[in-house]
Amino acid sequence: MARLYHEAGYDAIVVTDHLIARKNQDMPAPDRAAWYVSGYRAAKAEGEKLGLTVLLGAEARMTGGNEDFLLFGVREDDIPWLMALLDSGADEGEFYRAVHETGRMLLIQAHPFREGLRQAPLDQLDGIEVYNGHPDHESHNELAMARALQGREGFILTSGSDAHKLHHVARGGMLTDEDIRTETALVDWLRRNPRGERIETRP
């Protein structure tokens, strides 16, 4: 993925692997956390060779449903705590409050209008993924955009490619006017630039 995104002209990617409540719960906590970040570490090592910035994120899923929530501003040492919080059965509101107490993470609902998913209350989110480029799902991006525009001032709109397979690569992203090199810088930029302009490209 790092090589493919570099070849596609990206300067940075965020690895948001699925962080699912109670998954691999039988593993010792340190091993489980190391397992989770292994993909990110591999991508980061490859990115360093190529000149591609690779940032850590997460796509959290709680015990109460199949809704996914993107986390930006995550550090490696947050992973055991986030896993424990999800395993505890925290709902979206509890999870949002706990994340916000750190003062450095954002919680974004991913593809909220896919079939069978619930839309989280806007006051329990920092933003919504208004464009999801996954070609094998109907994410109803236009509905996500309409809902996000109902958010409070500073409510964040994001775009991502949601790449799981080779043909998913480079189907979404965010164009920034700054060089984003750290997780902190990404969060700061999103807070200062909550709503961007939609730009469509063709191969």
CATH code where residue 12 lies: 3.20.20.140
- In the chain, count of helices (H) and strands (E)? 6, 8
CA–CA distances in Å: residue 68 to residues 58, 179, 192 = 10, 27, 24
Q: Using CA atoms, how far apart are residues 175 and 10, in angstroms rounded to an integer?
A: 9
Report if residue 68 sits inside a domain: yes
Phi-psi region of 154 (alpha: psi -120 to 50; beta: other; left: phi over 0): left
Q: What is the Cα–Cα distance from 106 to 99, expressed in whole angstroms?
A: 7
Task: Answer yes or no: is 201 within a domain.
Answer: no
Domain range for 134 is 2-192
Asked whether the predicted pLDDT for residue 201 surpasses 90, the reply is no
- Residue 188 belongs to a domain: yes
Overall average pLDDT of the 13-35 stretch: 95
pLDDT for res 48: 98
Q: What is the mean pLDDT of the chain?
A: 96
Between CA 117 and CA 195 the distance in angstroms is 24
Residue 137 counted as domain residue:
yes
pLDDT tens-digit readout, 132-187? 999 999 999 999 999 999 999 999 999 999 999 999 999 999 999 999 999 999 99
Domain count of the fold of the chain? 1
Convert the pLDDT of each residue in 47-99 to its tens digit: 999 999 999 999 999 998 999 999 999 999 999 999 999 999 999 999 999 99
In a domain, 88, yes or no: yes
